[in-house]
Amino acid sequence: MLAVGLIFIWLAISKKWEPYELLPIGIGMILANLPGTGLLLQPQEVGGEIGAAGLLGIFIEYGILRFTVLPQLIFIGLGAMTDFSPLIAKPKLFLLGAAAQLGIMLAFLGALALGHFGIADFDILKAAAIGIVGGADGPTTIYLTSKLAPELMGVTAVAAYSYMAMVAFIQPPIIRALTTKKERQTYMKSQIRPVSKRERVLFPIICTIVVVLLVPQSAPLVGMFMFGNLLRESGVVERLSISAQNSLINLTTIILMLSIGASMPGEVVMRPETLMVLALGLIAFAGGTAGGVLMGKIMKLVSKEPFNPMIGAAGVSAVPMAARVVQHIGQKENPKNFLLMYAMGPNAAGVIGSAVVAGVFLNMLG
């Protein structure tokens, strides 16, 4: 496990793979596996009083396992950093975000199949926790896994963040396989309509009310996400918005990722099932990309305006990497094309979509 921690640190520093996540995860792993530190001692009630506990034990117990506070706090910061303007300007891009959640279902059913044939000890709860990796959303993955299968939390989180870092390698071959050159070259005009402040303020409020009424279990994620967005878009709480985008998200990232790394015991990680989780995670990402692109092709058929189906790949909510992948491929195929702003629409919608899926899973399995 020490070696695994060192590898993550190397990936973060040398390869710049999601350094904000993998660096503290790597250190957390090392600290958790050095003997005699007491850092992992989780608070236990002894005779009506809480006994001694280690720093990482406190973070894990209260931040993740018992109250799942940390992923929710990160979502406030993510919401404050998200610009929904492209989605508000072109609401049909919501459908691409929905289609990209196909990857979650593929991984969910795949994990169940492995359990069914006795290849891995994956029950329905573990399968849901593995499937949500396909949502390409770290905090959502951590949140759901901590509720349904806490023993897999570290592995699924690492899988999610690792594949987010590899989006630029995973997505292009799938996009190219599912689209023709002519489709990839489809030019979408570079100006889309301006979005008013009223729309940008109403959007998070409407989303919160609608989604939480329909899927109450998604409230911790969607509610916090939209709250953060409202801080940003209201324009009257600049300090709070700046804090959410900077101090809040940075502090909670430090604590959460350190805890994730520390909560990966060697006896869980060094098992064949860990490789299966990683493989299923890859299937989830690939399936999500494929789902988004295929929906893009359907929308191209019915759209009156030119529609580049590649932007569906950005429904995999690795923000903003997936959108940048689409932008990069789009420019290579047609240098006049500037797809980034279109791709940010499904990118943002995918975050909402994966949070909704997590809420539904919790509602049905939690």
122-181 binders of other proteins (CB under 8 A): 123-124, 127-128, 138, 164
**Choice from 88, 167, 257, 299 touching other proteins (CB under 8 A):** 88
Asked whether 32 and 259 are in contact (CB, 8 A), the reply is: no
Q: What is the closest distance, in whole angstroms, from the C-beta atom of residue 174 to other proteins in the complex?
A: 19
Q: What is the closest distance, in whole angstroms, from the C-beta atom of residue 101 to other proteins in the complex?
A: 5
Peptide bond into 335 cis (omega under 30): no
Tell me which residues in 44-83 interact with other proteins (CB under 8 A). Answer: 78, 81, 83
Angle at 201 between CA 199 and CA 205, to 5 degrees: 105
**SS3 for 46?**
strand
Q: What is the closest distance, in whole angstroms, from the C-beta atom of residue 147 to other proteins in the complex?
A: 15
Judged by CB, which is closer to other proteins: 51, or 235?
235
**SS3 for 196?**
coil
**Choice from 2, 3, 119, 364 touching other proteins (CB under 8 A):** 364
**Choice from 8, 203, 225, 307 touching other proteins (CB under 8 A):** 203
Tell me which residues in 204-223 interact with other proteins (CB under 8 A). Answer: 206-207, 210-211, 214-215
Judged by CB, which is closer to other proteins: 245, or 289?
245
Q: What is the closest distance, in whole angstroms, from the C-beta atom of residue 100 to other proteins in the complex?
A: 10
All residues at 6 or more sequence positions from 329 whose CB lies less than 8 Å from its CB, including other chains: 172, 175, 176, 184, 310
How far from 45 is each of 48, 53, 54, 71, 315, CA to CA, in Å? 6, 10, 14, 25, 45
**Choice from 32, 40, 56, 95 touching other proteins (CB under 8 A):** 95
Q: Does 91 participate in binding other proteins (rule CB under 8 A)? A: yes
In our burial notation (b when 16+ CB lie closer than 10 A, e otherwise), range 270-289 reads eeebbebbbebbbbbbbbbb
**Choice from 195, 240, 279, 298 touching other proteins (CB under 8 A):** 195
Judged by CB, which is closer to other proteins: 291, or 309?
291
Angle at 59 between CA 55 and CA 62, to 5 degrees: 130
How far apart CA 289 and CA 100 sit, in angstroms, is: 6
Partner residues linked to 297 by β-bridges = none
**Choice from 38, 235, 266, 366 touching other proteins (CB under 8 A):** 235
Q: Does 304 participate in binding other proteins (rule CB under 8 A)? A: no
**Choice from 14, 35, 181, 198 touching other proteins (CB under 8 A):** 198
> What are the two backbone dihedrals, phi and then psi, of residue 50, each rounded to the nearest 5 degrees?
-90, 125
Judged by CB, which is closer to other proteins: 40, or 232?
232
All residues at 6 or more sequence positions from 154 whose CB lies less than 8 Å from its CB, including other chains: 25, 260, 261, 263, 264, 268, 269
Find the part of the chain contacting other proteins (CB under 8 A) among 255-263, 266-274, 280-288, 354-362: 354-362
Judged by CB, which is closer to other proteins: 54, or 86?
86
| Residue with token string 């997936």 | 322
Judged by CB, which is closer to other proteins: 88, or 178?
88
Q: Does 237 participate in binding other proteins (rule CB under 8 A)? A: no
**SS3 for 304?**
coil
Which run of H or E residues covers position 69? helix 69-81
Q: Does 319 participate in binding other proteins (rule CB under 8 A)? A: yes
Q: CA-based diameter of the chain, in Å?
A: 72
